[in-house]
C-alpha cells in the first residue's frame, strides 16, 4: 500500500534486520522501526510495534530467520539448542495468534538445514500472506453490493498483514470497483486499533467511513444502517469457532439477532485444525494499563499517556474472545468462501 506516495509492506527483511511500521505511533506519526536481532523482534511483537494475524506471522518467521543468522557459526549441537530456545521465545510473545506459530515452526524446520533456507522460507511466508489477502479481496468483493454499509472491528487491513489485509481487502476491492461503500469503524478499545489504524488506512484509500464507539454497533444494526459485518481472525478452530479481538463476539451476537451477515476474512494459514473447538484456544491477557491509560496528542502536538480511569481501580484485559461457528455466516479465504454449515469443506483448506 502507498503512504505519502511510496509503496510499503507492513514488515520486511533486509540483510539481517527486520523492518516494520511502528504501529504504536499511528496515526500521529509514520515511522519505520528496525529490529537488528531476533530478541528485539520478539519484543516488537510483544509490545505491538507490529500486530495483526498475518503481520505477526511474517514477523515471527523473520525472527526465526534472524536466530538462524545469529547461530550460523555455532556447532551443530549448540545451534540446535539456540534455535529451540529462540523458537520458544517467539512462541511466548503472543499466545493466541495461529500465524505466529505456523510461521516460526516452518522457518525453524528450514533453519535446521541452513540459514539460507530459513531466510527464503520466511520471505515465502510473507509473500504467501500478501497474495492470500489479495485473493481474499477479490473473492470478498463478490459479497458486497452497491451502496453497502459495512461494519468492521479492530484492524484487519494491510497493517495487520504483509499487505492488502483480510477484512479490509474486500472493502478496498469494492471501493476500487466504484461500489460507493461506507464503513463503520469500531474504535476497538482498549488499544483503539479501529479509531487509530483502520480509520487511518481508510482515509489513505479514500474510503468513506466514520468512527463509532464500540457499543454503538448494535444500535446501527437496529436502525438499518449496517448491511454486513466483516472482521478478521487470529485463530480459527477446526469446527469454525473463531478467536478475534475482544468485542467481536458481541457484534456477532447482535448481527445474528438482527439477521445481518457476519463474515470472517482470513487466510488459510489462520486455521488451526489441531484444535477441535474454540474452547481450546488460549486467550492472551494483556496489561491492565491498556485499559486504565490512553495515549494521544497533547496541546503541544506530542504523544502523551494519561490516566482515564479511577486511580484506585484495577482492570481485567483479555485481548481476544471466541465467536462460536453458529454465529458466523461464512469464512472468506483465498481458497474460497465457505458457508458455516459446510464445515466439511474446511478439509480443502488444510
DSSP secondary structure letter of residue 318: B
The residues annotated with a catalytic role in the active site are 234
* Cα 107 to Cα 201: distance, rounded to the nearest angstrom: 30
DSSP secondary structure letter of residue 232: -
- Any long-range contacts for 328-331 (C-beta under 8 Å, 24+ apart)? 328/240, 328/242, 328/252, 328/262, 328/263, 328/264, 329/261, 329/262, 329/263, 330/261, 330/263, 330/264, 331/236, 331/240, 331/263, 331/264, 331/265, 331/266
- Report the 10 Å Cβ neighbour count for 307: 10
The separation between CA 203 and the C-alpha centre of its own chain, rounded to angstroms, equals 19
Alpha carbons within 13 angstroms on the beta-carbon side of residue 112 total 10
Taken in order 323, 200, 102, 343, is the CA torsion positive or negative? Answer: positive
DSSP secondary structure letter of residue 283: P
* Cα 7 to Cα 333: distance, rounded to the nearest angstrom: 25
Task: With both helix axes pointing from N to C terminus, report the angle between 168-176 and 115-140 in degrees, rounded to the nearest 10.
Answer: 60
Do residues 232 and 242 lie in contact, with contact meaning Cβ atoms separated by under 8 Å?
A: no
Amino acid at each position: 500500500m502507498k503512504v505519502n506516495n511510496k509503496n510499503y509492506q507492513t514488515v520486511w527483511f533486509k540483510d539481517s534486520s527486520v523492518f516494520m511500521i511502528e504501529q504504536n505511533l499511528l496515526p500521529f506519526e509514520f515511522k519505520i522501526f528496525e529490529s537488528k536481532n531476533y530478541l528485539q523482534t520478539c519484543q516488537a511483537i510483544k509490545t505491538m510495534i507490529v500486530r495483526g494475524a498475518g503481520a505477526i506471522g511474517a514477523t515471527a518467521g523473520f525472527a526465526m530467520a534472524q536466530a538462524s543468522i545469529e547461530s550460523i557459526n555455532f556447532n551443530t549441537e549448540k545451534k540446535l539448542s539456540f534455535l529451540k530456545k529462540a523458537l520458544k521465545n517467539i512462541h511466548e510473545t503472543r499466545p493466541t495468534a495461529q500465524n505466529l506459530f505456523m510461521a516460526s515452526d516452518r522457518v525453524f524446520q528450514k533453519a535446521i538445514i541452513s540459514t539460507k533456507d530459513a531466510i527464503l522460507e520466511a520471505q515465502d511466508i510473507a509473500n504467501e500472506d500478501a497474495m492470500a489477502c489479495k485473493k481474499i479481496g477479490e473473492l470478498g468483493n463478490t459479497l458486497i453490493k452497491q451502496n453497502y454499509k459495512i461494519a468492521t472491528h479492530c484492524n484487519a487491513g494491510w497493517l495487520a498483514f504483509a499487505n492488502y489485509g483480510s477484512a479490509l481487502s474486500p472493502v478496498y476491492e469494492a471501493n476500487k470497483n466504484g461500489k460507493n461503500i461506507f464503513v463503520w469503524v469500531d474504535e476497538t478499545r482498549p488499544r483503539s486499533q479501529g479509531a487509530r489504524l483502520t480509520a487511518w488506512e481508510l482515509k489513505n484509500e479514500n474510503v468513506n467511513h466514520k468512527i463509532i464507539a464500540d457499543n454503538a454497533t448494535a444500535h446501527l444494526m437496529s436502525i438499518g444502517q449496517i448491511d454486513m459485518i466483516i472482521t478478521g481472525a487470529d485463530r480459527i478452530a477446526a469446527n469454525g469457532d473463531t478467536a478475534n479481538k475482544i468485542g467481536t463476539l458481541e457484534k456477532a451476537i447482535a448481527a445474528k439477532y438482527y439477521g445481518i451477515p457476519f463474515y470472517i476474512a482470513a487466510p488459510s494459514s489462520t486455521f488451526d485444525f489441531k484444535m477441535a473447538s474454540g474452547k481450546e484456544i488460549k486467550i492472551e491477557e494483556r496489561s491492565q494499563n491498556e485499559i486504565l491509560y490512553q495515549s494521544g496528542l497533547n496541546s503541544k502536538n506530542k504523544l502523551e499517556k494519561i490516566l482515564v480511569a479511577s486511580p484506585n481501580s484495577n482492570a481485567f484485559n483479555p485481548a481476544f474472545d471466541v465467536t462460536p461457528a453458529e454465529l458466523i455466516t461464512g469464512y472468506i479465504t483465498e481458497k474460497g468462501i465457505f458457508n458455516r454449515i459446510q464445515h466439511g469443506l474446511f478439509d480443502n483448506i488444510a
